[in-house]
Amino acid sequence: MITASRPGTDRHRLYASTTDTYDTDLDIDYVAVERVMNGDLVALTLTEKAMAARLLDARGASIRSIATLLDVDKATVTRWKATGWQVKRPARCGEPRMYRRHVYRGETPCRRCRDAFTAERRNERAAKKQTTTPGRDA
Ligand SMILES: [Zn+2]
């Protein structure tokens, strides 16, 4: 168990990933995550912080030391842990989620968001149609 306030202060370097340096799907820079896990001051995205928190927790770091290292509230780390370390990446324009965010904020959705939302709806309708109506040769 790691008891130091900085989990990276023991002899062994902590690794975020031994195969990848970047996750394009989740937008995670493993090199940055690894540097923070080892005590370097690097700005991380929220998703990267949650990834670092999960890895540090798995290595026995306390919630307090994780929160200190990542500069987040202990309550935030506790919540991440309780929800299986899932952090929603902030929505970006061009995603259906962002279309809903625009509407929620009372903004006029931009073209990219409208297109993404329309495409999602079209796919949902097509999927629904496929499961509710039998095909011609069924
Ligand atoms: Zn938009």
In a domain, 91, yes or no: no
Using the mean position of ligand 1's atoms as its centre, give its distance from the Cα of residue 49 in Å: 25
Whether 16 and 73 share a structural domain: yes
Whether 58 and 113 share a structural domain: no
Whether 62 and 28 share a structural domain: yes
Residue 50 above 80 pLDDT?
yes
In a domain, 111, yes or no: yes
Task: Note the pLDDT tens digit of each residue in 10-30.
Answer: 557 778 877 777 777 777 888
Whether 76 and 100 share a structural domain: no
Using the mean position of ligand 1's atoms as its centre, give its distance from the Cα of residue 71 in Å: 30
In a domain, 88, yes or no: no
Domain extent, residue 125, equals 96-132
Using the mean position of ligand 1's atoms as its centre, give its distance from the Cα of residue 89 in Å: 15
Domain count of the fold of the chain: 2
Whether 56 and 108 share a structural domain: no
Using the mean position of ligand 1's atoms as its centre, give its distance from the Cα of residue 117 in Å: 10
Residue 57 above 90 pLDDT?
yes
Whether 63 and 20 share a structural domain: yes
| CA dihedral (116, 117, 118, 121) positive or negative | positive
Q: Which pTM was predicted? A: 0.55
Give dist(CA 127, CA 50) in Å, integer: 33
Last residue of a domain, one of 40, 57, 82: 82
In a domain, 138, yes or no: no
Using the mean position of ligand 1's atoms as its centre, give its distance from the Cα of residue 105 in Å: 11
Whether 68 and 120 share a structural domain: no
pLDDT at 62: 96
Whether 12 and 47 share a structural domain: yes
Whether 62 and 113 share a structural domain: no
In a domain, 104, yes or no: yes
Q: Give the strand pairing for 22-23 and 28-29.
A: antiparallel
pLDDT at 10: 53
Using the mean position of ligand 1's atoms as its centre, give its distance from the Cα of residue 60 in Å: 41
Residue 90 above 80 pLDDT?
no
Using the mean position of ligand 1's atoms as its centre, give its distance from the Cα of residue 33 in Å: 29
Judge residue 60's burial from the number of C-beta atoms within 10 Å of its C-beta, 0-12 exposed, 13-18 middle, 19 or more buried: exposed
